[in-house]
Amino acid sequence: MRVVSMDEQARKNPFQETFERLRARRWDMARTSARERIERLRKLRTTIIERREALYQAIHADFRKPAAEVESSEMLLVLMELDHAIKHLGRWMKPRKVGAPVLLAGTRSQVRYEPKGVVLIISPWNYPFQLTISPLVAAVAAGNCVVLKPSEKTPHSSAFMAQLVRDVFDPSEVTVVLGGAEESQALLELPFDHFFFTGGPRVGRKVMEAAAKHLAGVTLELGGKSPAVVDSTADIKATAERIAFGKFLNGGQTCVAPDYVLVPAAKEEEFLARMRETIEHFYGKTEEARKANPDFCRMVDDAQFTRVNRLLERSVASGVRVAVGGTVDAASRYIAPTVLADVKPDSPIMEEEIFGPVLPVLRYERLDEAVRHIRAGTKPLAMYIFSHDRAAVERLLEETSAGGTCVNTTVVHLSNAELPFGGIGESGVGNYHGEYGFRTFSHERAVLRQGPLFLLNTFFPPYTEKAKKMARMASRLFE
């Protein structure tokens, strides 16, 4: 078998040298103390705050996201993640003592958290800053070396982050790779110790295949058609406001956005009327006013605009009614905040995750129908329940599955660093945020120390009658 030289590997993969540089540094990073890691996180925090205005400009240049949304859904969440890690990292890193069975009397056991090594983070375009830097915080807190690959769809945001990382971290610790699918594919060929990907299921499968090839860890943060279930006890006005906020934030380009709403038939018209009132209050009384509103961002590129617009056109052609909105403008990639009525489970808008500012509303007669509909699809990343009936809430929680759930609100669960954020099945593998992120990028190493007292020598060969008797007695302790 011919041995492939390092020079040949470098020629074959343009990022081999980058990877080797980080791999050479990984053991130094593994030995860093909590204080040293916190210093890195503090420097990152300070630099982000200093460049707040530049971040606003970069994300606005990519898809006209308003500064207020950049602040609340990008900047704030990253700062909260940083502050949480800085406050708790010392405790997270401490070995955790665990107990032992009676047969291991005289031993001491603990779980130690060691970094996985060199990790790859591939981030998406919809929240380009938050979904790149939040996992980076967790990876650095855990003591890893990191390669970041932000999306090519948001070039201004990606360039901002590349410069940020260069100014905060040594390139042998954290580095950014810019580019598109070709660069991502080249990175996936390298033997990272953990692959972290946020995006869609199609690419997620490729990342999982790459991780399997290297027998590496993998975290997939995907998406899906996240339902909002409204029952007859819900406060319809408050429900409409909270669903509209979660749906139209970021122009609907949010992985945990309510994808569709299930409402009781008797409450449908009231819900539609309240949605219209809310949209007019949030974005303007008329379609013209809403289109001119600077607080509503655009689809990120022509491909995303075309995909969502075609879903909308096909749905209307199939008999779906536009209750609010429906206006589009290809030149500015604008799709109005839109609510659809008379939607059926087989309507085109229900074929895939919408990932845009279009909200289908489906009616149901009995809660059983809503449960069956949710179960018929893949497990979503999020589920939203609007109800003041505790029994109904518990039933929905027990009889469905989702990555995360909010009751009487939307999307804000991901801002609590004490909660794990992640999907299940088609919506993802693994989770992060807070200590969960630290553990995602750490290996939990079992360590047992034997003291002077050692009972297990009773079970050493040769297996005499006495040894057999002792083994039987030991087993009976657990019968």
89: Cβ–Cβ under 8 A, 6 or more apart, which residues? 34, 37, 38, 41, 141, 438
How far is Cα 374 from Cα 368, in angstroms, rounded to an integer? 10
Q: Tell me the helices (H) and strands (E) count for the chain, helix number first.
A: 18, 20
Q: How deeply is 83 buried, as exposed, middle or buried, from its count of CB atoms within 10 A (0-12, 13-18, 19+)?
A: middle
Phi and psi, residue 323, nearest 5°: -85, -35
Q: Which of 145, 255, 297, 406 is catalytic?
A: 255
Whether residue 221 lies in the annotated active site: yes
Question: What distances in angstroms separate CA 97 from CA 109, 401, 439, 449, one per listed residue?
Answer: 6, 33, 16, 12
ω into residue 462 within 30 of 0, thus cis? yes
- In angstroms, what CA-CA distances link 416 with 239, 407, 419? 21, 14, 6
CA–CA dist 280, 306 (Å, integer):
25
Which residue blocks in 75-200 are alpha helix, DSSP H?
A: 76-93, 130-141, 155-168, 181-188
Give the DSSP H/E element, type plus range, for residue 37. Answer: helix 34-50
Are β-strands 107-115 and 442-450 bridged in parallel, bridged antiparallel, or unpaired? antiparallel
Residue type, 200: G
Three-state SS at 345: coil
Q: Which residues, at least 6 apart from 175, have a Cβ–Cβ distance to it below 8 Å?
A: 18, 21, 22, 146, 147, 148, 165, 169
Instruction: Give every CB contact of residue 465 below 8 A, 6+ residues apart in sequence.
Output: none
**How is residue 361 written in tokens?**
């509303």
Please tell me the total number of residues recorded for the chain in this structure: 479
Q: CA of 458: how far to CAs of 102, 339, 448, 472, in Å?
A: 14, 73, 19, 12
255 as an active site residue: the answer is: yes
User: How far is it, in rounded angstroms, from Cα 147 to Cα 161?
Assistant: 12
Catalytic residue among 74, 81, 221, 435: 221
Taking the alpha carbons at both ends of the chain, their separation in whole angstroms is 54
Considering only CA atoms, which of 98, 96, 153, 103 is closest in space to residue 124?
153
Query: Annotated catalytic sites, by residue?
Result: 221, 255
